[in-house]
Structure 1
Amino acid sequence: MQQLLKLPSGTIPYTLKISAKRRTIGLRIDDHGLTVHIPKRIHWPHVEQLLLEKSAWIIEKLSERENRPEPVTWQDGTTLFYLGEPIVLSLRQDARNRQPVLDGESLVVAQPDITNTAVIQRKVSQWFAKHAIEDFRRRVELLAAKLGVPMPSVFLSNAKTRWGSCNSRGEIRLHWRLIQAPPHIIQYVVAHELAHLKEMNHSPKFWAWVEKLCPEYAKSRNELKAMSADLHLV
């Protein structure tokens, strides 16, 4: 059911879905816009009041959706980033499927069908992941020594919302897409997860350990937040 949310600044169309099983009001924003889920038995003024209270959040999230960057186009000449530096995707037709090779500032992908974007994307992602685990383990080893803790096990992650994690077994997971970021950003995430080996929380003591390993961590954290959407495009 299509509805309009009327605000002083204008109107926002949304889809209303009613369910007898629901007990609460739910808001969801995706590629189709705003969807409002409500229980079957509810006073409509209550729904309108909630939408007005959440209007700033709704406008912000809709704006983020509208202004988000376009996904990577897996074509010859596409610009990618490796350790914060631009590299150019270079597609070359070859009789054999070959592994990507970084040649100067070009990431060369050679294969029989250079129009097969699914294969190109998979190859590039695997190339990023291979170099990510090598880079991350080296950084973890160096900072673990500085922190005075044994070298932990390091694994790659493909989490949707977290760049890194450290579990109770002392295992560290780092998102492979971080290899696109500048080194100081990667260093911050590594420092953050290593600090959990000292403090499994986000207390002042925890942040003191992070600062010891990464003195300008606050700046790096803000930069990572700003570039997160771009890093997820690959």
Structure 2
Amino acid sequence: MLFWLLKHVLLGPVLRVLYRPRVVGRENVPATGPVIVAPNHPAFADSFFVPLTTPRPIVFLGKNEYFTTPGLRGRLMNAFFRGVGTIPVDRTGGRAAAAALDTAARVLGEGRVFGIYPEGTRSPDGRIYRGRTGVARLALRTGAPVVPCAVRGTDRVSWRGGLPRFPRVEITFGKPMTFTGEQDHQTLRAVTDEIMAELTRLSGLPYVDSYSPGPARRQGKGEAGAD
């Protein structure tokens, strides 16, 4: 219910007016059954635009800090992320990655849509970086199709500090990609690289063949992608 309210009444209409999001290929997300949506990750704002433009409710894993931040800002973040279906996960400890993968597989086993950022963290400069193999491991384990989701423009969104900026955001859903094979390193790497190549093609953004170092520190610029 909260997801529906956020998407159609509270937040979705505001984002559509301010950012005029252009959504292409929405029909490529299967109407039923398990689906993995795999977006590139240029900014924190992706956590707003991707769930609100995906035609079905989508589940992401989110770090615990999104749910435990104190104060009004923390309560608002908690309400939003729970409303759009984000599941809190502890990313520390030796079994964190396995627990996250088990949670994702459970969501897909229920026939739902699971979202995962293949780069593993936000891009520091809007370019697409080398993908980590978690998305391939999940696709091969569950057999769920992967829908690449190219995101453009969110790295230019400004929400705090300085003058607000309202660039047009573009979201493109590619055709579903299905994979089979063993979960050996070579296959996992090949599947991940194929997904990243399609994200690069759909977005038209430059590709960097190294892992993202994480979000840039844009002090004083108030960009949504900043920590």
The bucket for the TM-score relative to the shorter chain is: under 0.3
Normalised by the size of structure 1, how large is the TM-score? 0.19
- Structure number with higher relative contact order (C-alpha < 8 Å, ≥ 6 residues apart): 2
Normalised by the size of structure 2, how large is the TM-score? 0.19
More strand by share: 1
